[in-house]
Structure 1
């Protein structure tokens, strides 16, 4: 059973049972074909899982960021094909911080903000505002009821949500390596459903950090599941009259997968704690903080570690499995394809390496060890 500091184990057990019942290999393949798991979404929505960490007075389920991230870790273990992170941890965070409410029934998604995006707010913030442009690699856009974006204006950053059913919205389907929707969204003068100034400290960098933290947590869960699956297979598979887990070469692969999962889980937990503390200092509904620095080092380090672990652990797991790990009927690919996809989202290795450097340099020689050891 998953243990997460300070989070009610009953919540995690309930989420684990739900995802286990709805996310076996056959169901995940069906969801990939359909574009998402609608039945799973409806069951998760009945339990309020997508809106954990969104205040109740804003239409959410209440609870804090640690609870929401812990559920994402459980979802990552099962590869849950629904916009769980996008609806609450990202879209709900943006909307609630801007004083707006979520619809406690409909899935949401968020424009990650990528090079090449051309979103602009014509008419300025106000009744004449219209959203125009193109957003790339928007997760689950075809399944979402609304698309939430952070758009710049002369009056600062604005949180804007547009309905996907609007005639001015055109969704061009695309997928990542795991078959999860990562669509291109074209908007032609769309009237926002809601529009408000973003909370203090919320800007594109804060959104990327929040998205990276969400991906790190799902990657931690996927790595844990990959380690457990690989260990179980190595003990079950026999060669020359004994389990392959008894061979030294295979044991080395098992150790690599297990240690990578442990490192990422630890880093994810530290990053989540730092970000939750920053949220509290910012008043609960905003970004990381008005300075934008709290939790920056922990999130950057955790995402970089998770990105690297996705490569190292996947290689070791597939080597331990041999040919069966490459088959569609065996579930290993559901984890490895997702890990390789998520490592490119909300910052790849180069992105976070470049951002770690200035943070370390600013700490100075005397502050380096305290920064690494204590955040």
Structure 2
């Protein structure tokens, strides 16, 4: 049993130059994310509960570790387990792409229906572009959810099967386009799935991003409190000024709101149903909305030093700005949060334990 360690006290390098392969290389490895040895945090096993995985993803977000833990543990692996597909070793990513063109690679001759509506097997030809796939260049495999002639489908492919156009978000995390040109996916890598599993994939992606936001928000709180305590102005620390105290209180409040919303979604996601939809929509709505206020306050209290690459604050805030919009922003999820509610169902929804 070996141990890989990511020491985030070392200077941060751009995410696209970071080698994530060794982090997941050994299935028997206990991976550790750490700033200092006494503060080591073991990452949960693949079969850990959603609450444990959310806590680890939140910690990964707090330490702004450049690796796709949330994508692997909270989205890709659970979906592969649910679809009864083997889980590859290494980091994984995902893409929800209903716009892909998917057809049978071996269409069956049939007098019923249009040409190509049936296949001799589930081997598929996939054409189109998977846009802004998180960490695609570092992934051992990408889990793709699309629509086939027979309905929703989950399939897996490797980045080297596609033409990759590198990209990134504001935090320099890889967000790559994968171009597929009639790529043949063997039936062994394809599973027919229910519409409910497709919905679950969207919820998992949104909740994973919310957990990362919760962690980065805590990082902003830690850095801001440290800065205002150490920085003096007019002979006393900034934290002694009433206006600064008020802003810090608002910062802590926003971070706590996100953390509570993410934690509240753990059990509903395990049980499924309408409770999961409501809880995850609420978590991502709150997380994305709070990200704006958290970054505003943190940068305001840091002053000009906070926007420089020499200060660690930008590592958290650029991620918050990016994650706020990824997997649906607050407007997207607020609409979906409110759509199924009526005057008679709102109060029971808010007060009933999942």
TM-score, L = length of structure 1: 0.80
- Structure 1 residues 325 and 112: CA distance shift in structure 2, 3 A: farther
Is this contact kept in 2: 1:250–1:320, CA < 8 A? yes
Give 1:35-74 correspondences, 5 Å limit: 37-38=20-21, 40-41=23-24, 46-47=29-30, 61-74=46-59
Between the aligned partners of 1:213 and 1:45, the Cα distance in structure 2 is: 27
- Residue equivalent to 1:147: 142
Between the aligned partners of 2:83 and 2:159, the Cα distance in structure 1 is: 21
- Residue equivalent to 1:197: 192
Is this contact kept in 2: 1:208–1:347, CA < 8 A? no
- Structure 1 residues 206 and 102: CA distance shift in structure 2, 3 A: same
- Structure 1 residues 121 and 336: CA distance shift in structure 2, 3 A: farther
Higher strand content, 1 or 2: 2
Higher helix content, 1 or 2: 1
CA deviation map 1:36-66 (0-9, x unaligned): 545555589822689x88xxxxxx7322222
- Structure 1 residues 83 and 122: CA distance shift in structure 2, 3 A: farther
CA deviation map 1:49-97 (0-9, x unaligned): 89x88xxxxxx73222221111101101011211112222211122111
- Structure 1 residues 127 and 302: CA distance shift in structure 2, 3 A: closer
Give 1:166-177 correspondences, 5 Å limit: 166=161, 169-177=162-170
Q: Does residue 23 of the first structure (1) align with residue 8 of the second (2)?
A: yes
CA deviation map 1:177-201 (0-9, x unaligned): 1100111110122232611122572
Q: Does residue 107 of the first structure (1) align with residue 100 of the second (2)?
A: no
- Residue equivalent to 2:102: 120
- Residue equivalent to 1:76: 61
> How much does 1:335 deviate?
0.4
Between the aligned partners of 2:27 and 2:322, the Cα distance in structure 1 is: 23
Question: Larger Rg: 1 or 2?
Answer: 2
More off after superposition, 78-87 vs 314-323: 78-87
Between the aligned partners of 1:38 and 1:330, the Cα distance in structure 2 is: 28
Segments of 5+ residues of structure 1 without an aligned counterpart are: 1-14, 54-59, 279-287
> How much does 1:239 deviate?
0.9
SS at match of 1:79: coil
Is this contact kept in 2: 1:89–1:214, CA < 8 A? yes
* Residue correspondences, number: 328
- Residue equivalent to 1:180: 173
